[in-house]
Amino acid sequence: MAGRSRGSDQGEDAIVGVSERSLFAMPLPASLPTQSPLVPGSGNQPAPDIPAPIPSPAGRIVRVRRQLGRLSLPRLRNGITAAAELELDRGMGFLLVPVCLAIGAIGYFSLAAEPDFARPVAVVALMGFLAIVSRSWPKTHLFLTAALLCALGLLAAKVETWRTGTQMLGSEISTQLSGRVVSIEEMETGRIRLTIDVTSTARPKLRYAPERVRLSARKIPPEMTAGSLITGYAKLLPPTGPVRPDSYDFSFDSYFAGIGGSGFFLGNPKVVAADDGGMPLSARLSSAIENAREAIADHIRGSVGGAEGEIAAALIVGVRAGIPDEINEAMRRTGIYHIISISGLHMALVAGTIMGLLRGAFALFPDFSARRPVKKYAAAAALLSIAAYLVISGVVVAAERSFIMLAVMLIAVLFDRAALTMRNLAISAIAVILVSPHEVVGPSFQMSFAATAALVGAYAGWADHRAGKTRPPPPKRSLPGFLTRKFLLATGGLAMTSIIAGSATALFAIWHFQRVSPLSLFANLAVMPIVSVVMFLAVASALLMPFGLDAPSLYLMGKGLTAMIAISAWISERSPVDAVGLISQQSVLLVAIALVIATMATTWLRLAALPFALAGLLVVSDTRTPDVLVSEDARLVALPIGGGELAVSRARPNEFTVDNWKRALRSETIILPEMFDKADGQFDIADAVSLPPGAPFYCTDGVCLARHPSGAIIAHVEDRKDTWKACGFADLIIVNDATAYDACHNPLVLVVTKRQLARKGSAAIFFDRQSATGPPTISFAVDSPYRPWHAQRKFSREARGLQPYRKPDKPSAVPAQ
């Protein structure tokens, strides 16, 4: 019985150690021997091992030539068919479900015009019918099922757009606004940012007022909390579009976040009434959670202090508006900014800490642990912990997506399934896509799932590699040797994790942000051990905070964050320039296909990822850099003038816009315009023809002029009446006047007016490189007809060709006769 029990235990251990993919492995052919041959006349003793002859290089070459000679198109086709069938048997079809849904969602958001509901519903119904009737033809059925999933992804995106239906502000306006406070955030600049649900407007009363706005204020009353009714005179601004074509669209983000406008209070807002019983239950619950978050954040800031306190508040409750800009920039340059945003890393560390603490506590009671599934108890507690963490961190999109991913893995543990598998990742992706399809086109979704898929795929491949090898028991080591080995293994695992995740997300980061962190590997190796300790202390602080015993853990957490900030700043100072410019969209698409194949395939078909990856790398620079960029308000023009310099047309340009343009155009230095007084006579508009190539902007008499290195002359005009001054020599004229028109009437001169930019967004201009006399071409950020998140653009005064609103002058008092 003892032997049987021991054998049973060994069998269970063996099953636990088997890779999930090996369960689907094809059996060995019956003709192959599975045991050592027996020697005749020696009973049942196996023959002694005879060392196999070492093949010579010449023999290898002969065999390779023989195998290549056997290759033929029918043989290759049969091999691909067999491998594809094996992939489907191993569950590849289910892994492709989120891929098809994502393709459909991306297709919807890429449409030139908004479709009505009838079309996607009809496509789904048609594809569903064809998929049902084609079950007798497996290949056709598979293709139609994929088409059905793509149609479902498109329909899900359409439903989300219809369900969101955010009322967007159409034009800039000042009004007396009253509303209920949703959230309060302290900015790094000292201002307070308020998210407000609008209840009424006055002076003037807006007929199409947005339901929710985000406003900043210099100061707020101390009694103001989430749920308070407030009022104040505010300047409202419509959501802005991309700062350049093919960049991040703020209108798109505002639409799906429910924010219909932004702006600032012209005075300090006042509290009309505190939280009352007339609020809906959901609003009262949301306000209570928000007030608890703010109270915890204030407690953390008071206990830790400084920038460390702001980062600690960001890690525990997701409040990160007060982190200094220089620290944010240092973390972006070093590639560790993901630490600040609550995402999969934080959720995993919280869940791991809770599970580790509970497993350790259960180990103190061996009798209980032997009778009960304590691992499931720990997983259930970890699931509840990350759910609470999600709520207290504000239910931001990144945290919500990470919660879904980790919850699927913990639920898998509860049902005795492997936690870290591609199937669980696919379930998480399906849930996110169906709930928030717009996330598919955002950098957060793409980078997080790319990194996770690459890590899971690499882990599965390594497990398959180790599963087929017999490993001798590890030799006995001394304590220093044991600790050294563990340290090297942990460092190597962390390095490989950083390399794999960084490689999988690099091209997506370059596409969205035009920047790369060359020293991110070293930064993550140096910082991640500290972050692990900091998150453990964060969990301890959260558990001890209700009892007032969190001071020691918060103190140690602050010291760890001090070290993290110092390391980040030190590496950031030594980091090369991280701006890499624009890359082609085709390269990102090809690399995404390669990533899908490489992470999901389990047979030799994963080699098909190589041509896609190589093609993506070959066309990565197959895009043209704009010669001139123009902001959507027509106030700012910029052009690269060589030597890493970017000339701008305003002495005080918008910092955010200029930073984005610098990365896109691979510029390092901003060259401000030189201002000349007409009376001085130092520069005259007629002197523009003598400007050297690469000259910055020279401004005089309401006109700013610059010469591109190609020789083209750019003019920025403030008043439409001055447009004619540049018609004789300028190749491109930008008029910061909504009432302007093409006063030149010359097909070789491109005139861009404020009205055009208000309707079509920011612009990128390209000069004809083949002919110096050819007209420039222009590309706008917003296409027409408008999608729902851009429909408000046509209502602005500038889009209607009107001047900015000015209050009428008060009539002067008439003296009494």
What pLDDT digit, counting tens, does each position of 168-212 carry?
A: 999 999 999 999 999 999 888 889 999 999 999 998 999 889 999
User: What pLDDT, on a 0 to 100 scale, did the predictor assign at position 807?
Assistant: 67
Rounded Cα distance, 84 and 604, in Å: 10
* Segment 747-773 mean pLDDT: 88
Whether 5 shows a pLDDT value over 60: the answer reads no
Determine what percent of the chain is predicted with pLDDT higher than 70. 86
User: What pLDDT, on a 0 to 100 scale, did the predictor assign at position 49?
Assistant: 47
Residue of 412 and 44 predicted with greater confidence: 412
Nearest to 269 by CA among 351, 338, 202, 181: 181
CA distance from start to end of the chain:
124
Q: Could you report the per-residue pLDDT of 270-286, keeping only the tens digit for each? A: 998 765 556 778 888 88
Q: How far, CA to CA in Å, does 331 sit from each of 445, 568, 584? A: 20, 6, 26
Whether 794 shows a pLDDT value over 50: the answer reads yes
Dihedral Cα 175, 178, 183, 185, nearest 10 deg: 40
Asked whether 734 and 715 are in contact (CB, 8 A), the reply is yes
Asked whether 85 and 24 are in contact (CB, 8 A), the reply is no
Least confident of 28-32, 143-147, 326-330, 577-581: 28-32
Residue of 812 and 302 predicted with greater confidence: 302
Whether 398 shows a pLDDT value over 80: the answer reads no
Rounded Cα distance, 616 and 587, in Å: 4
Q: Could you report the per-residue pLDDT of 111-151, keeping only the tens digit for each? A: 999 999 999 999 999 999 999 999 999 889 999 999 999 99
Tokens of 85: 């069938």
User: What pLDDT, on a 0 to 100 scale, did the predictor assign at position 468?
Assistant: 65
User: What pLDDT, on a 0 to 100 scale, did the predictor assign at position 649?
Assistant: 93
Whether 57 shows a pLDDT value over 70: the answer reads no
Nearest to 252 by CA among 243, 244, 262, 242: 242
User: What pLDDT, on a 0 to 100 scale, did the predictor assign at position 733?
Assistant: 94
* Segment 614-638 mean pLDDT: 92
In this prediction, residue 35 has a pLDDT band, given cuts at 50, 70 and 90, of very low
Determine what percent of the chain is predicted with pLDDT higher than 90. 42
Residue of 39 and 223 predicted with greater confidence: 223
User: What pLDDT, on a 0 to 100 scale, did the predictor assign at position 270?
Assistant: 94
**What is the b/e burial string over 497-532, where b = at least 16 CB atoms within 10 angstroms of the residue's CB?**
bbebbbebbbbbbbbbbbbbbebbebbbebbbebbb
Rounded Cα distance, 121 and 125, in Å: 6
The crossing angle, in degrees rounded to 10, of helices 92-109 and 73-89 is 90
User: What pLDDT, on a 0 to 100 scale, did the predictor assign at position 771?
Assistant: 61
The residues that bridge with 196 in the sheet, in sequence order, are: 181, 213
Whether 651 shows a pLDDT value over 50: the answer reads yes
Whether 217 shows a pLDDT value over 70: the answer reads yes
- State the burial class of residue 381 (Cβ atoms within 10 Å of its Cβ: 0-12, 13-18, 19+): middle
Nearest to 722 by CA among 746, 705, 747, 697: 705
Question: Secondary structure of the chain: what % helix, strand, coil (to 5)?
Answer: 50, 15, 35
Rounded Cα distance, 24 and 97, in Å: 20
Whether 102 shows a pLDDT value over 90: the answer reads yes
User: What pLDDT, on a 0 to 100 scale, did the predictor assign at position 452?
Assistant: 86
Sign of the CA dihedral running 451, 455, 460, 461: positive
Beta strands in 384-507 (DSSP E): none
Rounded Cα distance, 407 and 587, in Å: 33
Asked whether 749 and 727 are in contact (CB, 8 A), the reply is yes
Whether 37 shows a pLDDT value over 50: the answer reads no
User: What pLDDT, on a 0 to 100 scale, did the predictor assign at position 576?
Assistant: 80
User: What pLDDT, on a 0 to 100 scale, did the predictor assign at position 83?
Assistant: 87
Going by C-beta distance under 8 Å and a sequence separation of 6 or more, which residues neighbour residue 318? 293, 342, 392, 393, 394, 396, 399
* Segment 60-70 mean pLDDT: 58
Q: How far, CA to CA in Å, does 446 sit from each of 157, 229, 246, 506, 633? A: 16, 39, 16, 11, 31
User: What pLDDT, on a 0 to 100 scale, did the predictor assign at position 520?
Assistant: 87
Whether 51 shows a pLDDT value over 70: the answer reads no
* Segment 690-702 mean pLDDT: 84
Highest mean pLDDT among 142-146, 455-459, 497-501, 739-743 belongs to: 142-146
Q: Could you report the per-residue pLDDT of 549-587, keeping only the tens digit for each? A: 999 999 999 999 999 999 999 999 888 867 788 999 999
Rounded Cα distance, 456 and 468, in Å: 19
Nearest to 791 by CA among 78, 10, 166: 166
Going by C-beta distance under 8 Å and a sequence separation of 6 or more, which residues neighbour residue 89? 24
Residue of 61 and 693 predicted with greater confidence: 693
Mean pLDDT of the chain: 84
